């Protein structure tokens, strides 16, 4: 429990830190290479000129003294992965943090400011593959239950035949046994 506290309070690799500013700019960072957390005393975070397409949900939420984040120069993918950043920027509107944070994809949103995208525009580009997976899972579950029902019927039929054979086997030797 102590280790995560030490990691979040120090300067995260590959960034440099000086007087409340965390500089992660121009490091060729991708979304999956971002630090998991920033120091809680960070006042400015520089993430510009990287290869970020989204920001992990909650990344900026536990930074009480944060005054600014530079995000320009990244290829933002304006899909479901950008919903957190868009919502965070909307909450920071009075700070002007939205300047030059523009979509690179999908093509229909390229060049648009993230801050001014309607939520429906972002959601329309989302692919809800898990809905397809749910339908497939339900179909498989139905087939599995159907197979179990068929197997149950076969077991019942087998047990009835076995019972008849057992009755016939019991009845046969008793009738043919010699009398004392």
The number of beta carbons lying within 10 Å of the beta carbon of residue 132 is 10
Q: How would residue 160 be classed by pLDDT, with cut points 50, 70 and 90? A: very high
- CA neighbor of 45 nearest in space, from 15, 66, 22: 22
17 vs 10: which has the higher pLDDT = 17
Residue 132 has pLDDT above 50, yes or no: yes
Where are the strands (E) in the chain, listed by range? 16-18, 21-23, 44-46, 68-70, 76-77, 103-105
Residue 5 is predicted with a pLDDT of 34
Q: Do the beta carbons of residue 75 and residue 100 sit within 8 Å?
A: no
Q: Is the pLDDT of residue 141 over 90?
A: no
What is the torsional sign of CA 63, 64, 65, 68?
Answer: positive
Whether this prediction's pTM lies above 0.75 is answered by no
């Amino acid at each position: 429990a102590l280790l995560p506290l030490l990691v979040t309070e120090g300067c995260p690799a590959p960034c440099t830190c000086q007087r409340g500013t965390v500089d992660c700019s121009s490091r060729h960072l991708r979304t999956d290479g971002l630090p998991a957390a920033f120091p809680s005393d960070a006042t400015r975070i520089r993430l510009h000129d990287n290869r970020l397409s989204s920001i992990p949900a909650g990344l900026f939420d536990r930074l009480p003294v944060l005054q600014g984040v530079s995000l320009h120069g990244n290829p933002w993918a304006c899909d479901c992965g950008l919903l957190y950043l868009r919502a965070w920027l909307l909450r920071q509107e009075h700070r002007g943090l939205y300047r030059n944070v523009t979509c690179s994809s999908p093509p229909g949103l390229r060049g648009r400011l993230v801050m001014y995208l309607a939520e429906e525009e972002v959601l329309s580009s989302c692919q809800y593959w898990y809905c397809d997976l749910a339908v497939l899972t339900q179909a498989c579950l139905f087939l599995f239950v159907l197979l179990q029902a068929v197997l149950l019927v076969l077991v019942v039929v087998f047990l009835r035949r076995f019972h008849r054979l057992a009755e016939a086997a019991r009845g046969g030797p008793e009738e043919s046994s010699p009398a004392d």
